[in-house]
Amino acid sequence: MTQLIESIGATRAWSREQRGAGRSVGFVATQGCLHEGHGALIDAAKSRDDVVVVSVFVNPLQFYPEGYAAYPRTLDADVELAEARGADVVFAPSVEEMYPGSGDPGGLAAMTKGVDGADDGVFVSARSVVEGAEEAVPLIRVPTRLSMKMDGKLHPWHFDGVATVVARLFDVVAPDRAYFGVKDTQQLAILEAMNGWLGSEIEIVRVPIVRDPDGLASSSRLSQLDGAQRKRAARFVRAFLGVQKRIDSGERDMVGIARSIRDHADVVGGIGVDSIDIVDPLTLEPVREIVDRAVVYGAYVIDGVRIQECVEVSVGGG
């Protein structure tokens, strides 16, 4: 039976006990509202590690205040899914538990907004104070060479929040391996770079994208779409899913492919494209003409719901 643990101390004690008994610990970090994509991460962890911890924590540092308030919270269902997939522990801390003395979560959600990343090319440890809070919040600043690409051009502070909470979770759970989906291209590249900066011995495992029957990459935010909106999204995503076939047919111009994906949004209608980026999966540098492999990433909005899409492509990928 899956244990629900809400305190950092109890989670640390449980993890120490497992490692002391010679068991490897796998970790899946989530914000809840679990779906089949998260299930695949748990499955991957179960296949390699003896025990698995799933965290459920809506992290205010990576949201606008209104987004933080609106994010779906479904802890009972999350525990049920985690148990069905064989997770041993769900770690579901409060904001106060994760950021002691930091005050109102809405204040945390507003704290770093509008701030660019660290500008010296490396990760930086900092501390920021929410108005009225008792304690400063430790914050990891992501260098602009990573944060100011792709989605980060619109809100680089988001990745400071992601890096901060994942580093905190790594410290609490102390896993042998942590499992992340490749759909979150920029986030994964940043976390891998941060893990190296921390000197961590945790192995980060990349897990392939899970798609729903209509072709959409599994995402918590899809639950906010009605049937008609979802059909629009599925029509738009066909442009992403067709990129590998275009490369197999001899196309190499990634700039032209990105332009055609934007054009397809206009054909579908009701799609607001935030960004279409075709990048190297590790450096996030733009790929203009593909010679090896790339990630085709897009962020788009349907009636106020922002969704990410991603496909991995390669020359000779089939």
Q: Annotated active-site positions, please? A: 38
pLDDT, residue 316, reads 83
Mean pLDDT, rounded, for 26-42: 95
Write down the domain spans for the chain.
3-207, 220-314
Topology given in CATH for the domain delimited by 220-314: Pantoate--beta-alanine Ligase; Chain: A,domain 2 (3.30.1300)
Query: Residue 118: pLDDT above 90?
Result: no
Top-level CATH class of 3-207? alpha beta
Mean pLDDT, rounded, for 54-80: 93
Which DSSP category does 62 fall into?
G
Query: Residue 100: pLDDT above 60?
Result: yes
pLDDT, residue 153, reads 82
Cβ burial 242-261 (10 Å sphere, 16+ → b, else e): ebbebbeeeeeebeebbebb
pLDDT tens digit string along 184-227? 889 999 999 999 999 999 999 999 988 999 999 888 888 889 99
pLDDT tens digit string along 278-296? 999 888 999 999 999 999 9
pLDDT, residue 117, reads 61
Interatomic CA distance for residues 88 and 208, integer angstroms: 22
Mean pLDDT, rounded, for 21-34: 97
Interatomic CA distance for residues 90 and 81, integer angstroms: 10
Up-side HSE of residue 205: CA atoms within 13 Å toward CB? 21
Question: 111 falls in which pLDDT band (50, 70, 90)?
Answer: confident
pLDDT, residue 122, reads 85
Q: Average pLDDT, whole number, for the chain?
A: 92
Interatomic CA distance for residues 59 and 310, integer angstroms: 23
Question: 116 falls in which pLDDT band (50, 70, 90)?
Answer: low
pLDDT, residue 287, reads 96
Q: Which has more pLDDT, 89 or 66? A: 89
Q: Which has more pLDDT, 125 or 203? A: 203
Its pTM stands at 0.88
pLDDT, residue 224, reads 87
pLDDT tens digit string along 156-194? 788 999 999 999 999 999 999 999 998 888 999 999 999
26 contacts 111 by C-beta, under 8 angstroms = no
- Of 240, 250, 315, the C-alpha closest to 277 is 240
pLDDT tens digit string along 232-258? 999 999 999 999 999 999 999 999 999
pLDDT, residue 152, reads 84
- Of 162, 61, 63, the C-alpha closest to 108 is 61
pLDDT, residue 127, reads 83
316 contacts 245 by C-beta, under 8 angstroms = no
pLDDT tens digit string along 138-153? 889 999 889 888 888 8
Strand partners for 128: 137
Mean pLDDT, rounded, for 76-90: 98
Whether 3-207 and 220-314 share one fold: the answer is: no
pLDDT, residue 318, reads 52
pLDDT, residue 85, reads 98
